[in-house]
Every structure is written in C-alpha cells, then in structure tokens.
C-alpha cells in the first residue's frame, strides 16, 4: 500500500480527488503544484496512517519510514540540500491536514532539521540573526507541540530578554540576543524533560510526525469535530514540506488571505501579512499585521503575481479560497489553499455573484447556502 505521496512542480503523485487520503492541505498542495503554482516541494503521509496509528498503539505500518526516507532523498536531490548536513542543511515543516477544514485545531512544527551544528551552517549561508531566530522558533514549537511544554514558559524567557534590552518586538533583537534565547530555551527543555533537545534530524521528524498525528485527538480538535458534526474521517494527514522563510529580512514575509471578503462576500482580495516574519506570527498577535493591499505598495510585482494566483485558484476550484503564502527574498510561494469559511451573508452574496460570473450554476449556488445560514439571517445582527 502507498502511504506517501510526493508533490513538486516536476512530479505530483496526488490531486484534489484523493482529498480523503491526502487531507485538505496535502490535496491542495498537490493540486496547486499540478497547475503550475509555486509550491515548495514536499510529500504527504496519508490519513490511513493516522487510522493505523490509533488502532495499533501509536505504531506505524511496516515500511512507512522507508517511504519517508525515500521521499526525503527526492527533496534533497531537488533542492541541492541535505537533511542534517553541516554545510547546506535541508529544513522542513511538519503540518497536519484533515479532509475537512479544521482551522487552528491541530499542530505544526517548523524548521525541523536545525541543531547546534546545522544552525551554524545556516548562519554562514544566510546570516546569524536569521539562523538563530529560526532555531529558537523550532525549540519553542517542538517543546510546545511535541513535548507539551506550556508556550508561556518560552514566551516568558523571550519577554525577559526583550525587557532587559528595552525593546518591544522580536525583530528588534539582534543575533547575540537570539543566541541567548536559544541557550535559555535549551536549558528550559532540559529542565522540563530531563534530557537535551534532540540533535538528530531524523529523530526530530519522527517525533514531530508522532505529535501531529497525536493532535488529531487533542481536546480542541475533538470538540471542533463534535461541534461541526465531522465524524466520518479516517484522521489527519501529515505534510512534510521544504521550508521557505519569511523571516529573512525586509524583502521576505508571510501572510494569509481570502480571495473574497469572508464577512461580506464582496469580490475583493482580503487578507493580512507581516514582513520579516514566519508562519505563526500573523495569527499569534505578536505584531500588528498589515493589510494585503500594503503589499502592493512595497512589492508591486509580488502583489500582481499573488492576485493572478488567487484568480487562477478561484477559476480552478470554482469557489472562494483561503490561502497561506510566504515571500522569501522577493520570491513568492503558496503554502496552502482551502475552501474559505464565510458568514451567512457572505455565502449568499458569493453564490449569487458566482452564478452571474459563470463560475457555477444555480443548482450549485443553492447547495452552497446551508439551512442554518438562512436561519442566521432571520436573527438580529450587530455590525461593527
């Protein structure tokens, strides 16, 4: 049985038709790669593995890790980097993705492959500040997601160092400050676990995969599925993807956006971004994000490319999309596309306008407006 599906601009094993196996994230990445959208290469471990994981005392099916190693070799050949290499290290992310959209319910670990040696290689290649900023993010995510250490303990260390230096934002810390953060994070890890942070990249990816599969049954994920009556899924898939970095400087950034306004349904690009930031920063509330239109002023070429991509995705999926993107040194990458959540008011406006645009027919438009959404419109609403 095939448990791992590769995706890249040159080779894509999966597509949106096997979303039940690849999950929403994996299917979206495979589909985007297949239609020429810039997606960092990677591979997806299927939802069947998650099912097996829970039915067999959190063990994996025979041969899975061999498939993972084979696909990691493909990534190495494609990127010219090697996982765990001391000269040019390959770093990857590990993300969850069920067939039904469950925003924010499950877990992610970024920058896997960094350790005390590879961080020095990354510093030589891309600068000390960037390298140690990435390492401290891995330590915090790994400690929180994989080990279960409270996020606040890491945040307290970071805030103490910012206070000592008299700065308010993470981006105001220099390389030496971040080296200190890394050392204190590692000391905290030892204090909490009684063992050092794992330096073996293969061990990191195995433990991160365990944790992401494990997040399928965390309290918030179970509550979300119960609330939304999602009870027919095999589990979550896990996507392992080459890292691209939005925290490499002022010509880099990260953001999330909707192809149409999810509140009103207006056909207008709607989203937020941060420059010199990574992944979770946009939604974490650490810094105030900018509006997507601010990208047009700073990077007009990237904004135009992103606008063309969002139009292409709407035409392809014939529905509003929720996208995640990263800009690394002035180059755009898409990290996710999924059907966008929307209010009742927005659902009706989108359905009507998409019929008028010829994207969908009236039958499909009626199917997209749920009875409970019509019920919402009959109640008084407070507009802010």
Task: Identify the band that residue 104 occupies on the pLDDT scale cut at 50, 70 and 90.
Answer: low
Mean pLDDT of the chain: 93
Closest CA to 28 of 323, 234, 330: 323
Local structure of residue 147 (DSSP, 8 states): I
- Examine the pLDDT at 286 and tell me if it is beyond 80: no
**Mean pLDDT of the 264-284 span:** 88
Looking at residue 374, its pLDDT comes to 80
Closest CA to 257 of 319, 312, 337: 337
Task: Identify the band that residue 1 occupies on the pLDDT scale cut at 50, 70 and 90.
Answer: confident
| CA 214 to centroid of chain Cα atoms | 17
- Examine the pLDDT at 105 and tell me if it is beyond 80: no
Q: Which residues contact 171 (CB under 8 A, 6 or more apart)?
A: 276, 277, 287
pLDDT tens column, 224-248: 888 888 887 889 999 999 999 999 9
**Mean pLDDT of the 210-226 span:** 87
- Examine the pLDDT at 6 and tell me if it is beyond 70: yes
pTM for the full predicted model? 0.90
- Examine the pLDDT at 15 and tell me if it is beyond 80: yes
**Mean pLDDT of the 79-92 span:** 96
Local structure of residue 60 (DSSP, 8 states): P
Q: Tell which wins on pLDDT, 229 or 274.
A: 274
Looking at residue 284, its pLDDT comes to 67
**Mean pLDDT of the 160-183 span:** 95
Query: HSE of 296 in the Cβ direction (CA atoms, 13 Å)?
Result: 8
- Taken in order of first residue, the domains within the chain and their CATH numbers are 1-115+200-243 (3.30.1490.20), 124-197 (1.20.80.30), 253-343 (3.30.470.20)
Three-class SS of residue 29?
Answer: helix
Looking at residue 376, its pLDDT comes to 80
Looking at residue 285, its pLDDT comes to 67
Of 33-37, 56-60, 220-224, 363-367, least confident by mean pLDDT is 220-224
Task: Identify the band that residue 282 occupies on the pLDDT scale cut at 50, 70 and 90.
Answer: confident
pLDDT above 70 covers a percentage of the chain that reads 97
- Examine the pLDDT at 343 and tell me if it is beyond 70: yes
pLDDT tens column, 35-71: 999 999 999 999 999 999 999 999 999 999 999 999 9
Q: Which residues contact 123 (CB under 8 A, 6 or more apart)?
A: 130, 131, 132, 175
Cα-flanking dihedrals φ and ψ of residue 143, to 5°? -60, -45
Of 141-145, 175-179, 224-228, 293-297, least confident by mean pLDDT is 224-228
pLDDT tens column, 115-159: 999 999 999 999 999 999 999 999 999 999 999 999 999 999 999
Looking at residue 215, its pLDDT comes to 87
Task: Identify the band that residue 106 occupies on the pLDDT scale cut at 50, 70 and 90.
Answer: low
């Amino acid at each position: 049985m095939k448990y791992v599906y590769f995706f890249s601009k040159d080779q894509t094993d999966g597509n949106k038709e096997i979303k039940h196996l690849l999950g929403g994230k994996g299917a979206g990445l495979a589909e985007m790669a297949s239609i020429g959208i810039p997606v960092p290469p990677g591979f997806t471990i299927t939802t069947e593995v998650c099912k097996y994981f829970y039915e067999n005392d959190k063990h994996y099916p025979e041969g899975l890790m061999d498939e993972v190693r084979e696909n990691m070799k493909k990534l190495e050949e494609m990127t010219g980097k090697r996982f765990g290499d001391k000269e040019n290290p390959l770093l990857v992310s590990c993300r969850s993705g069920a067939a039904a959209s469950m925003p924010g319910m499950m877990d992610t670990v970024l920058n896997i492959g960094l350790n005390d040696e590879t961080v020095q290689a990354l510093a030589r290649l891309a600068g000390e500040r960037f390298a140690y900023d990435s390492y401290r993010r891995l330590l915090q995510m790994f400690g929180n997601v994989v080990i279960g250490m409270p996020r606040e303990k890491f945040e307290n260390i970071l805030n103490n160092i910012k206070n000592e230096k008299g700065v308010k934002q993470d981006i105001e810390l220099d390389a030496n400050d971040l080296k200190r953060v890394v050392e204190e994070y590692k000391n905290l890890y030892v204090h909490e676990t009684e063992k050092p942070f794992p330096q073996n990249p293969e061990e990191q990816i195995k433990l991160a995969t365990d944790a992401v599969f494990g997040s399928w049954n965390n309290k918030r994920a179970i509550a979300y599925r119960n609330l939304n009556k999602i009870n027919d899924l095999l589990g979550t898939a896990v996507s392992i993807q080459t890292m691209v970095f939005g925290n490499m400087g002022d010509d880099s950034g990260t953001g999330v956006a909707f192809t149409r306004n999810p509140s009103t349904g207006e056909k207008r690009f709607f989203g937020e971004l941060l420059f010199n930031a990574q992944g979770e920063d946009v939604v974490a509330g650490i810094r105030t994000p900018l509006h997507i239109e601010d990208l047009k002023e700073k990077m007009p070429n990237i904004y135009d490319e992103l606008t063309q991509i969002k139009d292409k995705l709407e035409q392809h999926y014939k529905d509003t999309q929720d996208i995640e993107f990263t800009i690394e040194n002035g180059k755009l990458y898409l990290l996710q596309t999924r059907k966008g959540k929307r209010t009742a008011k927005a659902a009706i406006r989108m359905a009507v306008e998409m019929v008028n645009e010829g994207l969908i027919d009236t039958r499909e438009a009626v199917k997209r407006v749920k009875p409970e959404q019509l019920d919402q419109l009959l109640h008084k609403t407070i507009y802010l």
